[in-house]
Amino acid sequence: MSVPARTLIVLVHLALGGLALLPGEALAQLAPGQKPYEKKRSGSGSSALVGKKSRLTGSIYDDAARREEEADRNLVPGEVPIRLGDTVRGRTGNGVIDRALFEAVKGTRVSLLLEPADRKLTLVARLLRPSGSPLAFFRPKRADPAVMAVHDELVPETGTYAVEISFAAGQTGNYQLETLGLFPSSAEETLALRDGRPQGFKFGGLSERSIEEVRVVAQDGAELDLAVNIVAPQGGSLPLDDKTWKSSDGRTLIVRDLPIDRLGDFSLFVTDTNRGEGKARVEVIFKNPRPLRATHEL
């Protein structure tokens, strides 16, 4: 049985352990006068593209690679799409800004660690909101002022965030960015229902995020016949019929295994088809994307 060359390359890379840098080891330098994304000739006459965005390292999932390739088409040189948990290694300077882009939902906690290869250089970096305005600025760590960090920053909205990285004026060098994210594992609300009017709330969707379970339970003995509707960010209701279970008295409703793999805010609405009055407790349990711990190069 033949194995595609791409798969063999990835498997060999995994076997070698990702070729991570050792503590204190400097990143590869560009040739004198060479610009990022410029081809460099080796001694044997072959060429290698220095500064080219890497494919996902540490993953053999074709769908993840496909999504990165699709995202790359909309990028400019110096940008790379990542997932929280990934590492970015790059070289920048002379006013050039590198950008690492990642998705996050409201309530995600983000920590970022940025380190220069040359401790004499000064990094300048910030975390941007989806609108492009600053959310947080990197600050020097007390134990090592050359290392810059954003610690446990709470994401205020669902969208695509950017880490902007550069060096102080007149400086050029290599850096390594490490990322960590903690996504919300659940969302809970108590809704007051009356006269059959739908009540609801919003939660964020991500690529590869799904709902493990939605549980809606009538409270305080209310005689409710519950119905649920979930609307996607771009509009339109998600199909729930084959994923929904309801108790015989209608007071408990459960939805299981529902993909919400689109970036944006979903809306969940609960209705009492009896058109009565009462409260319903809603709990949404998420299955969040696992970190690939990939390495990207800029």
Q: Which tokens go with 284?
A: 């949404």
Q: What is the mean pLDDT of residues 70-84?
A: 73
pLDDT-above-70 percentage for the chain: 74
84/46 Cα distance (integer angstroms): 35
Q: How many domains does the chain have?
A: 2
Is residue 246 a part of any domain in this protein? yes
88 and 166 both lie in a single domain: yes
Q: Which of 64-73, 83-92, 191-200, 230-239 is predicted least confidently?
A: 64-73
- Contact status, residue 125 vs residue 166, Cβ threshold 8 Å: yes
140 and 238 both lie in a single domain: no
Is residue 12 a part of any domain in this protein? no
| 3 state DSSP class of 10 | helix
Query: Position of tokens 């699709």?
Result: 70
Would you say the pTM of this structure is higher than 0.75? no
Q: What is the mean pLDDT of residues 273-297?
A: 93
Instruction: Please report which confidence band the pLDDT of residue 290 belongs to, taking 50, 70 and 90 as the band edges.
Output: confident
216/284 Cα distance (integer angstroms): 9
198 and 178 both lie in a single domain: no
Is the confidence at residue 217, as pLDDT, over 90? Answer: yes
- Contact status, residue 89 vs residue 29, Cβ threshold 8 Å: no
Instruction: Please report which confidence band the pLDDT of residue 66 belongs to, taking 50, 70 and 90 as the band edges.
Output: low
Q: Which of 174, 65, 167 lies closest to 122, judged by CA?
A: 167
Q: Of the residues 142, 162, 183, which one is the last residue of a structural domain? A: 183
pLDDT score recorded for residue 77 = 65
Instruction: Please report which confidence band the pLDDT of residue 63 belongs to, taking 50, 70 and 90 as the band edges.
Output: low
Element (H, E) at 6: helix 5-15
89 and 157 both lie in a single domain: yes
Beta bridge partners of 155: none
Instruction: Please report which confidence band the pLDDT of residue 73 belongs to, taking 50, 70 and 90 as the band edges.
Output: low
164 and 215 both lie in a single domain: no
Q: What is the CATH number of the domain that holds 199?
A: 2.60.120.380
173 and 66 both lie in a single domain: yes
How many other CB atoms sit within 10 Å of the CB of residue 123?
21
Q: What is the mean pLDDT of residues 268-292?
A: 94
Domain span at 128: 54-183
pLDDT score recorded for residue 237 = 96
Instruction: Please report which confidence band the pLDDT of residue 186 belongs to, taking 50, 70 and 90 as the band edges.
Output: very high
**7-57, pLDDT tens digit by residue?**
444 343 444 443 333 333 333 333 444 333 333 333 333 222 233 333 334
pLDDT score recorded for residue 75 = 54
Residue type, 10: V
Residue type, 174: N
pLDDT score recorded for residue 6 = 42
